[in-house]
Amino acid sequence: MQDRSRAQRWRELTAQARLTGGAMAFAGGMIWRHARFLAIIIVALSLVGGVAQPLLVWSMTGLINVLAALPANPWGEVLPWLGVLFAAYVVPDIRNTLTLYCGELVRERLKVALQRRLLEHMAAVPLTYYEQPEYYHKLENGWTALSRRVSSELERVAGQVSALLGTAGLLALYAQAHWLLPVVLAATSIASVVIGGRQGRQFVAASYARSPLRREERYWAQLLADRGAAPELRLFGLGAAIIARWRTAFNRHLDSLMAAHWKLAWQSWGNTALQESTRWGTAVALLVLASRGEITLGSLVALLYALGPLRNLIQLLSYNAISVVDYYSRWEHLRDFLAVDPEPRPAGGHPAPPRPLREGVQFHGVSFTYPGAARPALQDVSLTLRPQERIALVGENGAGKTTLVRLLLGLYRPSRGRITVDGIDLTDLDPAAWRREATAIFQDFMRYPATALENIGYGDTALLPDTPDDAPATAVPAAIERAAAQSGADSFIASLPDGYATLLRKEFVGGMDLSTGQWQRLAIARAYVRDAQIIVLDEPTAALDPRAEVAVYRQFRAAAAGRCAVFISHRLGSARLADRIIVLQGGRIVEEGEHARLVRGSGAYARLYGLQASWYAADDGAGGRGAGVGIYMDGQDRQDE
């Protein structure tokens, strides 16, 4: 059993060494690519700085021995030793100054390169990773690694080299007194560094385990500062309740943190006791050797003095070991995040998305399960979406409507089954190229802190200038103006202080905010501006009043002409816009057909439509205006047609 335990510990130690070594190699590769010359200078300076302490002790030995001999004219023998002593004092200062300067340059070189690589990878991973907590753990710890000063860690590595060289030099001086002294001192030094390295690994592991607690603590703290949450928090008087939730999360985080620090503190105390006992024993041994005449007075004084610098070097080795292992252990998480497979792209020679669509998009027995979910969100869905056809997806919350749409857009890949585009498997098409053939308005649409022009132009970035600074001086492209007119956003953009150049949202100086309905019209315009063959609207009018909703659906009818249009709406009156209605329930298609036929039936659609019609009829009978909200499209469609 003991042999197995020892073997297990050895495997863990070697695995940790491999991981840390791999992370250091990764970081070293980044430094070598982006700051090679500066890194060489820093390492060279560390080698020069490492000889300072041995030089100091050696010069003290020589000076004291010369003076103890009482020569008639000591200056001839003293001056060389004074020169060595001066060099030992000056070298560390020069090394520290140049290392600090070079380190700053390294930091500037690496900062942009590292952050850009992380951001590019964040934009390339499949959307399903955003459903997994482990993704956020890796991302948070990766950002933590980047938030540390990379140049400082390079300096710590260089400092470790310098400390090793200085320690080796001092041990060589102790070896001149007795061979056993450097052996004992080296053994305790190695033990100190190993303990420091273990502490670094343990602290990172504990920090990684606390990642969910940190996120929860930050969430409740940020909620109190969130502008969107402020009205509800004040209306319901939730300030004290939110602070209580924050305090609970903070206390759990603090308890976990203190437990980790207490464990590390015990190890540090044990390490300190070992080092101080060794220093005391070395001092006694030097006195014994001097009393026997085996070492000179100069050696005794200098080596007794050297116990202080040696202690500092060993502490520096241990501290740097903790810091370096901690830092590069975090880089392991960054490497783990960068090792997450990006969205797969087919090899060269893949077919371009068909344009125009002829057969349409077909779902062949498609099922999809979210990571960690107990049951599929979609089950065995077979469906054909024909070109220029208007499809309405109907169903209760959680029926699978949004999941189906995201599969259609190529944001998710089926867990089972396949999707074809004019007979071509969707997985054989370049995802980015396929998405350029589609446009969408999501229910949780974005409100970008940018100009009105950019908020629309993000639907087709080719319409925007190369840099945001050029936007105010750029004429508004006709496609953006046309999309704004189709969505009705042009009516309020004209009243903005700077028109299309007005900065929106209040995060930045000079920005102004819009109403929710106005933001939604911008999102609709963003979808309309793209020349796409498929247009998806996920509950596109939720924030609009009935009159504005009628206008949007009229404009949608025109904007969707010639495209395959798929829209989700909980107001079933709008389903009359559709050529075909797909009713989803529990992730399955339970009904499909035209509005009139489905209403005459006794299925799920007829029941849902009847519930809405009776609700609005009852509300209208009470003097309300609700009849126009849910089923106004009946009369409106007949009038249009």
| Residue 622, pLDDT score | 45
Q: Is the pLDDT reported for residue 641 higher than 50? A: no
Looking from the CA of 537 toward its CB, the CA atoms found within 13 Å total: 33
**Residue in 600, 619, 539 with CA at minimum distance from that of residue 572:** 539
Of 57-61, 288-292, 334-338, 413-417, minimum mean pLDDT range: 334-338
Over residues 318-332, mean pLDDT: 69
Stretch 36-48: mean pLDDT: 81
Q: Which of 304, 338, 372 is the C-terminal boundary of a domain?
A: 338
Indicate whether 208 belongs to any domain. yes
Predicted local distance difference test score (pLDDT) of residue 480 = 92
| Token pair in block for residue 77 | 């023998």
In-domain check, residue 276: yes
Burial of 521 (0-12, 13-18, 19+ CB in 10 A): buried
Domain end point (choices 488, 514, 531)? 531
Q: pLDDT-derived band of residue 304, with 50, 70 and 90 as boundaries? A: confident
- Helix (H) or strand (E) segment spanning residue 552: helix 546-559
Domain assignment present for residue 280? The answer is yes
- Model confidence over 391-419: pLDDT tens digits? 989 888 888 888 999 899 888 889 999 99
Contact 496, 512 (CB under 8 A): yes
Determine the pLDDT at residue 384: 92
In this prediction, residue 640 carries a pLDDT of 35
Q: 532-544, pLDDT tens digit by residue? A: 899 888 876 665 6
Name the more confident of 623 and 616. 616
Q: Is residue 219 scored above 70 in pLDDT?
A: yes
**How many whole angstroms separate alpha carbon 527 and alpha carbon 56?**
73
Q: Give the model's pLDDT for residue 99.
A: 78
Rounded percentage of the chain residues whose pLDDT exceeds 90? 8
Residue 544's SS3 state is coil
What are the tens digits of pLDDT across the range 490-512?
989 999 998 898 888 777 777 78
> Same domain, yes or no, for 97 and 246?
yes
On whether residue 462 sits in a domain, the answer given is yes
* 249-273 pLDDT tens trace: 777 777 777 777 777 777 777 777 7
Tell me how far CA of residue 103 lies from CA of 42, 107, 111, 508, in angstroms: 8, 6, 12, 33
Residues 279 and 133 in one domain: yes
Query: Does 618 map to a domain?
Result: no
Structural domain contains residue 170: yes
pLDDT class of 6 with cuts at 50, 70, 90: low
Residue 358, exposed/middle/buried by CB under 10 A (0-12, 13-18, 19+)? Answer: exposed
Peptide bond into 356 cis (omega under 30): yes
Contact 290, 273 (CB under 8 A): no
Residue numbers of the domain that contains 186:
2-338
Find how far residue 466's CA is from the centre of its chain: 26
330 in the same domain as 451: no
pLDDT confidence of residue 209 = 65
**Most confident segment among 74-88, 152-166, 350-364:** 350-364
pLDDT at 383 exceeding the cut of 80: yes
Whether 84 has a pLDDT exceeding 90, the answer reads no
Identify the helix (H) or strand (E) that includes residue 353: none
Of 338, 364, 386, which residue sits at a domain end?
Answer: 338
Name the domain count of the chain: 2
Does the pLDDT of residue 3 top 60, yes or no? Answer: no
> What's the pLDDT score for residue 636?
39
Q: Do the beta carbons of residue 129 and residue 105 sit within 8 Å? A: no
The confidence score (pLDDT) of residue 418 equals: 93
Q: Is the pTM of this model over 0.85?
A: no
Least confident interval from 8-17, 28-37, 285-294, 398-407: 8-17
CA–CA distances in Å: residue 368 to residues 126, 383, 412, 591? 14, 14, 9, 20
Per the domain annotation, does 597 fall within a domain? no
> Three-class SS of residue 33?
helix
If you average pLDDT over residues 510-528, what whole number do you get?
Answer: 86
| C-alpha span between 407 and 369 (Å, rounded) | 11
Q: What is the CATH classification number for the domain harbouring 516?
A: 3.40.50.300
Q: How buried is residue 631: exposed, middle or buried, by Cβ count under 10 Å (0-12/13-18/19+)? A: buried
- pLDDT bin (cut points 50, 70, 90) of residue 341 is confident
Q: What's the average model confidence in pLDDT over 513-526?
A: 86
- Regarding whether 297 and 158 lie in a shared domain, the answer is yes
Mean pLDDT of 442-470: 81
Q: Is the dihedral of CA 481, 503, 506, 131 positive or negative?
A: positive
pLDDT of residue 78: 78
Please tell me what DSSP assigns to residue 561.
T
Q: What is the helix (H) or strand (E) element at residue 583, kind and residue range?
A: strand 580-585
Rounded Cα gap, residues 446 and 455, in angstroms:
9
Q: What is the pLDDT of residues 621-637, one digit of tens each?
A: 444 444 444 434 343 33
Q: Are the C-beta atoms of residues 402 and 568 closer than 8 Å to each other?
A: yes
Is residue 83 situated within a structural domain? yes
Residue 444, pLDDT > 50, answer yes
How far is Cα of residue 84 from the mean position of the Cα atoms in its chain?
A: 51
C-beta of residue 602 within 8 angstroms of C-beta of residue 620: no
Can you tell me the distance from the alpha carbon of 120 to that of 125, in angstroms, rounded to the nearest whole number? 9
pLDDT at site 22:
67
The mean pLDDT of 73-78, rounded to a whole number, is 73
The mean of the pLDDT values for the chain is 77
Domain CATH for 233: 1.20.1560.10
Q: Which residue has the higher pLDDT, 585 or 269?
A: 585
Residues 457 and 330 in one domain: no
Higher pLDDT, 372 or 473: 372
The alpha carbon dihedral of 258, 263, 268, 269 has a sign of: positive
